[in-house]
A and B are shown apart, each in its own frame.
Chain A
Amino acid sequence: DQQVKQNSPSLSVQEGRISILNCDYTNSMFDYFLWYKKYPAEGPTFLISISSIKDKNEDGRFTVFLNKSAKHLSLHIVPSQPGDSAVYFCAASLNTDKLIFGTGTRLQVFP
């Protein structure tokens, strides 16, 4: 039972353009959503989060959008940079408890 899904295993974007990573979830009780970035041989690092009471949160080049009715969230990176190339995990939690992760999307930003 995959409660958090990332249906695109990979994404390739040109430097300077927008990267959009998508995530769907099934449990409407989730109240907190996060995006993590993972480089090879390193643990995931926190990128940005959003509470279920909001529909948008922005931090520099990163914006997360939440559509509760569709149970969908997305991460926008603009402009994309080569250093953004990594695996991005969407995660959800209930009452700030344990995180449930998606399967990840590998983003490659090329010059």
Chain B
Amino acid sequence: EAGVAQSPRYKIIEKRQSVAFWCNPISGHATLYWYQQILGQGPKLLIQFQNNGVVDDSQLPKDRFSAERLKGVDSTLKIQPAKLEDSAVYLCASSFYPDGYTFGSGTRLTVV
């Protein structure tokens, strides 16, 4: 079974630039999550999709972050404009009840 695919693996941008991350979940997994992991902290949920609908985006900074999951399969997370404090690893995970989450390898974003 193929895992959760994420790209790019690394990205360095200047503050105020925009950036987009892509995630392709495990086939058949209806639920998709984006987490932000800042160095020294645990992953924090940004947004949860069920198929192509948003279940929870209460922690998403909507003034600069956006996410979509068209067709209920792969998803993109965008930051525009980026701030220095957005430097983190962005993790995508998918799940299919009752199985647990499967995480991708993440995208490490550095904002300079």
Interface residues of A (CB under 8 A from B): 4, 6, 9, 34, 36, 41-46, 49, 89, 91, 96-104
Contacts and interface: CB of A to CB of B under 8 A. Distances in A.
A43 B98 contact: no
Interface of B: 4, 6, 9, 33, 35, 40-45, 48, 56, 91, 93, 97-98, 100-106, 108
A100 B45 contact: yes
Contacts of A49: 100
B44 A101 contact: yes
Nearest to B6: A43
B25 to A, nearest CB: 12
Given A43-B104, A43-B105, A102 B42 contact: yes
B42 A103 contact: yes
A36 B35 CA distance: 14
A44 B91 CA distance: 9
Interface of A is mostly: loop
Given A44-B91, A98-B48, A98-B56, A34 B100 contact: yes
B89 to A, nearest CB: 9
B103 A43 contact: yes
Contacts of A45: 103
Contacts of A89: 42-43
A104 B105 contact: no
Nearest to A49: B100
A101 B38 CA distance: 12
Contacts of A96: 97-98
**A-B pairs with lowest CB-CB distance, top 4:** A43-B103, A101-B42, A103-B42, A101-B43
Nearest to A45: B103
Contacts of B103: 36, 43-45
Contact of B42 (A41, A97, A104): A104
B78 to A, nearest CB: 20
A62 B8 CA distance: 33
Nearest to B105: A43
B40 A103 contact: yes
Contacts of A6: 42
